[in-house]
Amino acid sequence: MVLKTFGWSFAVTALGLVAAVLFGGWTALGIVAILSVLEISLSFDNAVVNAGILKKMNAFWQKIFLTIGILIAVFGMRLVFPVVIVAISAQLGPIEAVELAFNDKDRYEQLVTDAHPTIAAFGGMFLLMIFLDFVFEDREHKWLAWLERPLAKLGKIDMLSTCIAMIVLLVTSMTFATHAHQHGGTHVDKAQTVLVAGLAGLITYLVVGGLSGFFEGKLEEEEEREHEEEEEARRTGKARTPVALAGKAAFFMFLYLEVLDASFSFDGVIGAFAITNDIVLMALGLGIGAMYVRSLTVYLVRQGTLDDYVYLEHGAHYAIGALAALLLITIQYQISELITGFIGVVLIGWSFWSSVRRNKALAAEEGDADAADKSEVSSGV
């Protein structure tokens, strides 16, 4: 089952890592591996949401989503989108940006380095909003309870995330942006550029978040309707057979899934700029991660179960928060790509380990409860 579901992902991983070594040596291998782990962790929710919708489609449209959809996901959002960001920020044509990335790496690096404050401000604000909205939400499972409980109480204040993000942007524009790092080690004042780019990142998040919220609301309404129909079927004694979506309904659901996938992909693509500016390594790492997201979606659909590692989402969002802070700091200071990637991997790994410990503790408690029940029965109580 695992090999059948994740076989293509394993193959793409092997090819991608070999390509990374051939392209940039062992350092490139490490960057691609980190990007892959980051993309998988940040897109975990994406796989869960996709699975919930995909199971309603018939076999044909499921196959379309997992074939054409993966091409859109990998080559659209994970390859074309980073090039577009670089082209806009460096004021290049898309074709010119690609040609420079392959044929004139020194010139490409210079342009991207000079445009980095713009990219960092846009991406830093986008990622910061994702992190703030997560930590200010009151969740059933709390990983770092000593921190998350008071933050959840503060989250009851309307627009708190947006206010904090704007304050951070103003402080950044008046501090780091006044001595923005440029190619050759020089520093220039880019306060206005950073302020505009940061506002663009904030607006982009609000638009994407609004669309995602709208689609999620529609999905919840559909699930509530189905639940009511099931309850009615139980009361009347009539069997209710789920009907898989087909035709126009499935087509529009397919388009919806692609829009939703693009929305979820923003954090991975933007976060990748905190680790590397090389669009080749970015495409390899994010492409590998996208393959695993698709495989995980299939696995969840076929198994009908969700992952038990409840703190993994927390770790991914804390990694997003760390990347947001590092992006804003790198407007003025240079930070090694491996360091920024390592911080994210450590946070995600820590959350995974905490989830494993939680599952073992729950299993032990259930075992003790079963043993107590058996003891009562044997003693005649």
Q: Tens of pLDDT along the chain (381 residues)?
A: 667 777 878 888 899 889 989 888 888 888 888 888 877 766 665 665 566 667 766 677 777 777 777 777 666 777 777 777 777 767 777 788 778 777 776 777 777 778 788 888 888 898 899 889 889 988 888 888 888 889 888 888 888 999 999 999 999 999 998 888 887 778 888 899 999 999 998 998 888 777 766 766 666 676 677 677 777 777 776 655 554 545 555 666 677 667 666 655 666 676 677 677 777 888 888 888 888 877 877 776 666 544 567 787 788 788 888 888 888 998 888 877 667 767 877 887 888 899 888 888 888 887 766 666 666 555 555
Q: Which stretches within 90-179 are classed as H helix?
A: 94-103, 105-135, 145-154, 160-174
Alpha carbon of residue 284 to chain centroid: 16
For 68, other C-beta atoms within 10 Å of its C-beta total 12
Distance CA 97, CA 94 (A): 5
* Residue 222, amino acid: E
Q: Calculate what percentage of the chain has a pLDDT beyond 90.
A: 8
Query: What are 57's strand-pairing partners?
Result: 245
The domain tally of the chain equals: 1
Distance CA 335, CA 331 (A): 10
pTM of this prediction? 0.70
Distance CA 137, CA 190 (A): 34
Distance CA 124, CA 201 (A): 8
Tokens of 41: 């962790």
Whether the Cβ atoms of residue 32 and residue 284 lie closer than 8 Å to each other: yes
CB within 8 Å of 123: residues ≥ 6 apart: 201, 270, 271, 273, 274, 324, 327
Whether the Cβ atoms of residue 266 and residue 43 lie closer than 8 Å to each other: no
Distance CA 235, CA 186 (A): 74
Whether the Cβ atoms of residue 281 and residue 31 lie closer than 8 Å to each other: yes
Residues counted in the chain: 381
Tokens of 236: 């009347």
* Residue 61, amino acid: W
Alpha carbon of residue 166 to chain centroid: 22
Whether the Cβ atoms of residue 295 and residue 5 lie closer than 8 Å to each other: yes
Can you tell me whether residue 304 is helix, strand or coil? coil
Can you tell me whether residue 262 is helix, strand or coil? helix
CB within 8 Å of 190: residues ≥ 6 apart: 117, 118, 177, 178, 180, 331
Q: What are the tens digits of pLDDT across the range 156-214?
A: 888 899 999 999 999 999 999 888 888 777 888 889 999 999 999 899 888 877 776 67
What is the per-residue pLDDT for 208? 73
Structural domain that includes position 369: 2-378
Distance CA 38, CA 312 (A): 12
Distance CA 381, CA 378 (A): 8
Distance CA 322, CA 154 (A): 20
Q: What are the tens digits of pLDDT across the range 67-109?
A: 777 777 666 777 777 777 777 767 777 788 778 777 776 777 7
Distance CA 8, CA 250 (A): 25
Query: What are 180's strand-pairing partners?
Result: 188
Query: What are 188's strand-pairing partners?
Result: 180
